[in-house]
Structure 1
Amino acid sequence: MGRTPCCDKTKVKRGQWSPEEDEILKNHILKHGTCNWITLPHRAGLKRCGKSCRLRWLNYLRPDIKLGNYTQAEDNLIFSLYAQLGSRLNLALQLFS
């Protein structure tokens, strides 16, 4: 008893996204918003899985996402927070002790 698949895997495109697909997804989301990821590919005219569209938007296409290298100020902040808090394991031990 597993979950029902989100889409018919035989009818969806897999692999790299084309610039045209990126543009279609971006324009559709900016115009209509992100309400239901399962139906979004069909409504936008994409032959992709809803999960693939969601991940593409969240990780690459959002207007507020920062791409590229960290600035020196961001590097310094990361280093100082790591010095204060340590790794995730150390932080979890601090929170639960």
Structure 2
Amino acid sequence: MPAVKPISDLQRNFDSIADSCHKTKEPVCLTKNGSASLVVMDAEVYNEQTRALTAIQEREDRIQQSIARGYDDLVKDRVRPWKQAKAEADRMRAIR
């Protein structure tokens, strides 16, 4: 759970907030007039989270592309029954 502090603390206690972010690896939520305004966090943690989110997005994109290719194959009648595909694969393995 991120610490919540008024934004004025950033100006007065920057070193303290930075130390807190580095030590706890937790973000600090800064408020202005009682509402969330900014989030400050350790750069290393930010980079890790960004890499993780990028990896997830790339995986989701690959899945979406695979689904689209499969749908395209279905629409263009480039599919065959499972038994037929399995039989062909078995024949190809036997030839090797």
Q: Which has the higher strand share?
A: 2
TM-score by length of 1: 0.26
Question: Which protein, 1 or 2, shows the higher relative CO under an 8 Å CA cutoff with sep ≥ 6?
Answer: 1
